[in-house]
Amino acid sequence: MEKFELHILGCGSALPTTRHFATSQVVNMRDKLFMIDCGEGAQMQLRRSRLKFTRLNHIFISHLHGDHCFGLFGLISTFGLLGRTAELCIHSPKGLEELFAPMLGFFCRNLSYKVTFQEFDTKEPSLIYEDRSVTVTTIPLQHRIPCCGFLFSEKPGFHHIIREMIDFYEVPLYEINRIKNGADYVTPEGVVVPNARLTTAPDPVRTYAYCSDTIFREKIIEQVKGVDLLFHEATFAQSELARAKETFHSTAEQAAFIGREAGVKKLVIGHFSARYEDEGLLLREASAVFPSTILAKEGLCIQV
């Protein structure tokens, strides 16, 4: 199967600790990198991951709280120092370009590449990126400021050629791409050879949903139903339910409820409050509701 990986760069919340970096992730889709949020220290973690900076062309910012975007300016500057020439596109709720323009104008006035900002609406799901292999759709969340998660959906790949059948029917090389795309083959004598005789089905498409800072929100369930991997914030344990509501965050138990009701294959929880020295408590609470739950941690790579 084609590469589809999630790399956790940081999984802490707003208050810095020695245990966790602020929120940031990278999706590696067929060797194209997509960063989700860019908290402080993201570029250092990106180096540790050994992912190639040059393959990162799109960054998705869920909301304009510092622990999700304070690392962005440093990353932009570093790309300039490295002599980057490819355009970098930053997708975010309204307001990020206005905030960054003065800093870019002062510190990065001679950048060797173009930085573009694309704003998205946070009230309704919308398609904000598409290429030949993936689509990215927003997931409206409910936080103290406008906030969205992101749904990465792989596009169907090619059919798999059955080499023996291709040889048997003496299919010319120039027909192979058409057949991979699902076309039948017509022999020189006019005989139609069905595609199903020449190929096997493409690999199943895979999906990853990222649900950043949000109060418990059952509306999420329908949009993330059946995804292969769900990241959902789990800032607090259930004993801090009142605090979670007050700050528009979720508990581990609530995150697990979303995963269970949506029928996801695997749930990863993160965005841990600094009050927890050991996130095992959060894992136990989530696993009691949805056993297929794992803890995010820096350096973790999950195959989707």
Residues recognised as catalytic: 67
Question: Which amino acid is it at 106?
Answer: F
At 228, list the tokens. 């292969």
The owner of tokens 């005989």 is: 191
Backbone dihedral angles phi then psi of residue 160, each to the nearest 5 degrees: -95, 125
What is the C-alpha to C-alpha distance for residues 140 and 130, in angstroms, rounded to an integer?
Answer: 18
For residue 129, what are its two tokens?
């990126």
221-238 as b/e, with b when 16 or more CB fall inside 10 Å?
Answer: bebbeebbbbbbbbbbbe
CA 142, 143, 146, 152 torsion-angle sign: negative
Report CA Rg, the chain: 22
Token reading at 189 = 């004598």
What are the φ/ψ torsions at residue 59 (nearest 5 degrees)? -125, 130
- Strand partners of residue 134: 154
CA quadruple 217, 220, 137, 293: dihedral sign: positive
